[in-house]
Amino acid sequence: MVDIECVVDAKARLGEGPLWDPLAQVLWWLDIKGHRIHRFDPATGTDRTWATPEDIGCLAVRERGGLIVAMRSGLYFFDPESARFDAIVDPEIDLPENRFNDGKPDRQGRFWPGSMYEGDRSRPSAGLYRVDPDLSYRRMVSDITCSNGLAWSPDGRTMYHSDS
């Protein structure tokens, strides 16, 4: 039998996007609607948080330090030390009813943020993007409603993605 225990009683409004940082040995996760970035350290039991200016959908740890995050209005660098957000690009500036949702980094150092349509879900205007280490980006999948559930096979050759 497996024992399950609550390690952070965060009372998140919409907790999602867990990402394990193997170097720092911490778990990053988000409260999308609560506008919070969380960093849980299992060694100390500490859950540090930072406020975000808007809905935040996903994040990845940067090799150079800090994070890359996808929020309602696009992609940003985030520096936890200063709590500063620096805009990179908004690939969906022409789609104001969309916001970024789920996403993950791959083994090649690319960030895969996906968007979702927040209207009545009848308009498949969202997409899945690939952001390369040089910050160039490309829409890889179009005409979806809610990008979700990115994962890769153990050998890294197959990507799984759902339109929920």
The residue among 65, 62, 74, 77 whose CA lies nearest residue 110 is: 62
Task: Decide if 111 contacts 105 (C-beta within 8 A).
Answer: yes
Partners of 89 in the beta sheet? 75
Task: Decide if 48 contacts 39 (C-beta within 8 A).
Answer: yes
Q: What is the mean pLDDT of residues 128-145?
A: 95
pLDDT tens, residue by residue, 18-72: 999 999 999 999 999 999 999 999 999 999 999 999 999 999 999 989 999 999 9
Task: Decide if 22 contacts 49 (C-beta within 8 A).
Answer: no
**If pLDDT is split at 50, 70 and 90, which confidence band does 120 have?**
confident
pTM: 0.93
> What residue type is assigned to position 142 of the chain?
S
The residue among 31, 24, 93, 94 whose CA lies nearest residue 65 is: 24
Query: How is residue 157 written in tokens?
Result: 């050759």
Task: Decide if 56 contacts 95 (C-beta within 8 A).
Answer: no
pLDDT tens, residue by residue, 62-108: 998 999 999 999 999 999 999 999 999 999 999 999 999 999 999 99
**If pLDDT is split at 50, 70 and 90, which confidence band does 148 have?**
very high
Tell me the DSSP string of 25-36.
TEEEEEETTTTE
Partners of 99 in the beta sheet? 116
